[in-house]
Amino acid sequence: MISSMRRYLSPHMVKQGALNFCRFLLLGVYLFFVLAPVYWMVITAFKTDTEIVNVNNITYFPQHFTLDNFISLFSQLKFGGFLKNSIILSTGTAIVVLIYAILGGYALARYKFRGKSTIILFFLISQMIPGILVIIPLYLIFAKLHLINTLFVLLIIYIMGNTPFCVITMRSFFERIPVSLEEAARVDGCSRMEALVRVIIPVLFPGIVAVFIFAFTGAWNDLLAGVIFTSSQAKWTVPVGMKSLIGKYNVRWGELMAGGTLALLPTVIMFAFVQRYVVDGLTAGSVKG
């Protein structure tokens, strides 16, 4: 039977099949290494402390399913407040950055003015500078403004950190949209702003979603600014609250894994609903002209 099948399979088909097999094998291995830590975090969140620390009997599924880690997380650590702060800051950052990205990206894509190349270069260079280098100057500035230990200072820092990349990204989306589409709207009586809102932005929806997700996750996952600029527990975000579970002599693994599981949910849910738009925005970001 195998010999008869080989008669109908050309060398090209055999080679293509082997390449596909190797490709799927590599993707499978990569997927395993990506999902294995997530799986271990989730199952650890539902284990008892005794089962977690028992290195002599490692279990790959909870033997005694428990919600004590989640209960302790909210009752003792006040994790609900951390979630609230992170949601407010991440959503606010994403909205403000998206507005800046649309307006700034449109200006850089459609207008010609002196210093345009310098602005683009500045935005690109700013992404190469480690954030830790500007922490001390920013701390001194915000301390003089009496903004330390406030959510507002974190909002400013998140907006500052995410705006340059999002503006450059949105600029590339605008440049791929035919100018004729906008000109047709102008001929029909729309102003430049009306053409942007009514014609261009609907076409750019995948790119807008991609930029929103990037800004949201950038603020959601930040730890450095939260640790440096906030001191009271009421102003902590999720990453800062989870860091407090790592002590000098011990680590509260159960609560830490439960917090990580809950911190993962918003981004997972968001990507589940807008995955198609994110992929379209990152790969195309334009219409065919």
Domain extent listing, the chain: 2-45, 78-283
Per-residue confidence (pLDDT) for residue 288, from 0 to 100: 41
Interatomic CA distance for residues 49 and 62, integer angstroms: 11
Q: Which two tokens stand for residue 174?
A: 């605008």
Least confidently predicted of 14-28, 86-100, 155-169, 224-238? 14-28
Q: Which two tokens stand for residue 231?
A: 């001191």
- Give the residue from 161, 162, 155, 176 showing the smallest Cα distance to 98: 162
Beta-bridge partner residues of 246: 251
Q: How far is CA 28 from CA 14, 33, 35, 44, 72, in A?
A: 21, 9, 10, 24, 36
Q: In the predicted model, is pLDDT for residue 289 greater than 50?
A: no
How high does pLDDT run on average in the chain? 84
Q: What is the pLDDT of residues 277-288, one digit of tens each?
A: 665 655 544 444
Q: What is the pLDDT of residues 197-206, one digit of tens each?
A: 888 888 888 8
Cα separation of the two ends of the chain = 51
Per-residue confidence (pLDDT) for residue 12, from 0 to 100: 64
Nearest-Å Rg of the Cα atoms of the chain is: 25
Q: What is the pLDDT of residues 218-229, one digit of tens each?
A: 999 999 999 999
Per-residue confidence (pLDDT) for residue 285, from 0 to 100: 42
Burial of residue 17, with CB atoms counted within 10 A of its CB: 0-12 exposed, 13-18 middle, 19 or more buried: exposed
The three-state secondary structure class of 66 is: coil
- Give the residue from 241, 90, 84 showing the smallest Cα distance to 157: 90
Per-residue confidence (pLDDT) for residue 139, from 0 to 100: 92
pTM: 0.83
> How much of the chain, in percent, has pLDDT values that exceed 90?
33
- Give the residue from 289, 284, 287, 271 showing the smallest Cα distance to 169: 284
Beta-bridge partner residues of 251: 246
Per-residue confidence (pLDDT) for residue 145, from 0 to 100: 92
Q: In the predicted model, is pLDDT for residue 153 greater than 70?
A: yes
Give the residue with greater pLDDT, 82 vs 210. Answer: 82
CATH of 78-283, one of 3.20.20.70, 1.10.3720.10, 3.40.50.720, 3.40.250.10: 1.10.3720.10
What is the average per-residue pLDDT within 138-152? 92
Interatomic CA distance for residues 278 and 283, integer angstroms: 9
> In sequence order, what are the residues at sequence separation of 6 or more whose Cβ sits closer than 8 angstroms to the Cβ of residue 45?
69, 70, 254, 257, 258, 260, 261
Measured at the alpha carbon of residue 268, what is the angle toward residues 264 and 270, in degrees to the nearest 5?
A: 125
Per-residue confidence (pLDDT) for residue 240, from 0 to 100: 92
Interatomic CA distance for residues 256 and 70, integer angstroms: 9
Our separate counts of H helices and E strands in the chain read 15, 0
Q: In the predicted model, is pLDDT for residue 1 greater than 50?
A: no
What's the number of CA atoms in the CB half-sphere (13 Å) around residue 285? 18
